[in-house]
Amino acid sequence: MAEQRKLTCISCPIGCQLTVDLDDDGNILNIEGNSCPRGPIYAKNEVTNPKRVVTSTVRVNNSLVHPVVSVRTVDAVPKDKIYEVMDLIRQLHVDLPVKIGDVLIANIADTGTDLIATRSYE
Amino acid sequence: MKNYDLVIIGGGPAGLAAAVKAYDLGMQNILLAERDDCLGGILNQCIHNGFGLHHFKTELTGPEYAGRYIEMLEERHIDYMLKTMVMDLAPDKTLTLMNSEYGLFSLKPKAVILAMGCRERPRGALNMPGDRPSGIFTAGTAQRLLNIDGFMPGREVVILGSGDIGLIMARRMTLEGAKVKLVAEINSFSAGLKRNIVQCLDDFNIPLYFNTTISRVVGKDRVEGVYLSKADEYFRVIPDTEVFVSCDTVLLSVGLIPENELSRKAHVKMAHQTRGPIVDNTYMTGVPGIFACGNVLHVHDLVDNVSEEAEEAAKNAVAFIEKGAWKAVLKIRQEADCKVQEGAGVSYTLPQVLNFEALEDLTRINFRVKKLYEGASIKVHFDDQEISSRKMRVMAPGAMQAVYLKKEDLDEHRPQTITVSIEEGEED
Ligand SMILES: Cc1cc2nc3c(=O)[nH]c(=O)nc-3n(C[C@H](O)[C@H](O)[C@H](O)COP(=O)(O)OP(=O)(O)OC[C@H]3O[C@@H](n4cnc5c(N)ncnc54)[C@H](O)[C@@H]3O)c2cc1C
Ligand code: SF4
What mean pLDDT is reported for chain B?
91
Give the pLDDT of residue B8: 98
Domain ranges of chain A: 3-48, 55-117
Q: What's the ipTM?
A: 0.92
Q: Rounded mean pLDDT of B360-365?
A: 94
What pLDDT shows up at residue A52? 94
Query: How many angstroms separate the CA of residue B193 from the nearest CA in chain A?
Result: 7
Q: Does the pLDDT value for residue A61 go beyond 60?
A: yes
How high is the pLDDT of residue B305?
Answer: 93
| CB A43 less than 6 A from any atom of ligand 2 | no
CA of B299 to the centre of ligand 1 (A): 9
Answer yes or no: are the C-beta atoms of B418 and B338 closer than 8 Å: yes
The answer on B293 and B342 residing in a single domain is no
pLDDT in tens, A25-37: 888 899 999 988 9
Which helix H or strand E contains B183, and what residues bound it?
Answer: strand B179-184
Note whether B234 and B275 are same-domain residues: no
pLDDT at B378 over 80: yes
Domain of residue B183: give its range.
122-254
Pick from A13-22, B101-110, B225-234, B380-389: least confident: A13-22
Report yes or no: B419 and B348 within 8 Å, Cβ to Cβ. no
A contacts of B198 (beta carbons < 8 Å): 8, 10, 15
Average pLDDT over residues B44-48: 96
| Interface probe with A: pick from B45, B195, B304, B306, most Cβ of A within 10 Å | B195
Beta strands in chain A (DSSP E): 3-8, 17-22, 28-32, 51-52, 55-60, 68-73, 77-78, 93-94, 103-105, 115-117
Tens digits of residue pLDDT in B145-181:
999 999 999 999 999 999 899 999 999 999 999 999 9
Q: Which residue of A has its CA nearest to B176?
A: A86
Same domain? B250 vs B279: no
Task: Tell whether A59 lies on the interface with B, counting CB pairs under 8 A.
Answer: yes
The CATH classification number of A55-117 equals 3.10.530.10
Is the Cβ of A36 closer than 8 Å to some Cβ of chain B? Answer: no
* Alpha-carbon gap: A104 to the closest alpha carbon of chain B (Å): 16
**Category of B235 on φ-ψ map: left (φ > 0), alpha (ψ -120 to 50) or beta:** left
* Minimal Cβ distance to A120: which of B48, B53, B67: B67
Whether omega before B13 lies within 30 degrees of 0, making that bond cis, reads no
Domain shared by B302 and B181, yes or no: no
d(CA A49, CA B102): 58
Radius of gyration of chain B (CA): 22
Substitution target in A118, A120, A121, A122 with the highest count of B β-carbons within 10 Å is: A118
Q: Are B61 and A118 a contacting pair at CB < 8 A?
A: yes
Phi, psi torsion values for B359, nearest 5 degrees: -75, 140
Angle CA(A47)–CA(A48)–CA(A54) in degrees, nearest 5? 90
Q: Is B251 in the pocket of ligand 1 (CB under 6 A)?
A: no
Q: Are B163 and B310 within one domain?
A: no
Task: Please tell me whether residues B161 and B142 are part of one structural domain.
Answer: yes
pLDDT at residue B330, as a whole number: 47
Residue B201 has pLDDT above 90, yes or no: yes
Pairs of residues, one from chain A and one from chain B, whose beta carbons lie less than 8 Å apart:
82
Q: What percent of chain B has pLDDT over 90?
A: 76
Interface test with A, best of B194, B196, B204, B303 (most A CBs within 10 A): B194
Angle at A40 between CA A37 and CA A42, to 5 degrees: 105
Q: Is A40 in the pocket of ligand 2 (CB under 6 A)?
A: no
Residues in chain B: 428
pLDDT of residue B417: 94
What is the structure's pLDDT at B328? 45
pLDDT score for B2: 80
Q: Does residue B138 sit in the same domain as residue B197?
A: yes
- Is the model's pLDDT at B333 over the cut of 70? no
Of chain B, the percentage scoring pLDDT greater than 70 comes to 94
Is residue B127 very low, low, confident or very high in pLDDT (cuts 50, 70, 90)? low
- Cα of B240 vs centre of ligand 1, distance in Å, is 40
Last residue of a domain, one of B294, B318, B335: B335
Distance from C-alpha of B343 to C-alpha of B329, rounded to nearest angstrom: 26
Domains of chain B: total: 3
Check CB contact under 8 Å for A100 and B150: no
The CATH number assigned to the domain holding B242 equals: 3.50.50.60
- Report d(CA B113, CA B427) in Å as an integer: 46
Ligand 2 contacts CB of residue A29 (under 6 A): no
- How close, in Å, is residue B21 to chain A by CA atoms? 23
B205 and B273 within one domain: no
Residues B288 and B306 in one domain: yes
Last residue of a domain, one of B220, B254, B288: B254
Same domain (yes/no): B322, B347: no
- Three-state SS at B390: strand
Asked if the Cβ–Cβ distance from A17 to B393 is below 8 Å, we say: yes
Q: Are residues B142 and B166 in the same domain?
A: yes
**Which of B300, B281, B179, B70 lies closest to A99, judged by CA?**
B70
Quickly state the pLDDT bin for B325 (edges 50, 70, 90).
low
- Is the pLDDT at B128 greater than 80? The verdict is no
Closest-CA distance of chain B to residue A93, Å = 12
Q: Answer whether residue B428 shows pLDDT above 50.
A: no
Check if A11 has its Cβ closer than 6 Å to any atom of ligand 2: yes
Q: Could you give the CA distance from residue B328 to residue B228 in angstroms, rounded to a whole number? A: 56
Instruction: List the strands of the sheet with B95-99, edge to edge.
Output: B85-89, B95-99, B103-107
Single residue among B320, B335, B350 that ends a domain in this structure = B335
Which residues neighbour B185 within 8 Å (Cβ) at sequence distance 6 or greater?
B161, B162, B191, B208, B209, B210, B211, B212
| CA of residue A5 to ligand 2 center, whole Å | 17
Q: B127 and B239: one domain?
A: yes
Do A72 and B47 make contact, defined as CB atoms within 8 angstroms? yes
Q: Give nearest CA residue, ligand 1 atom 48.
A: B41
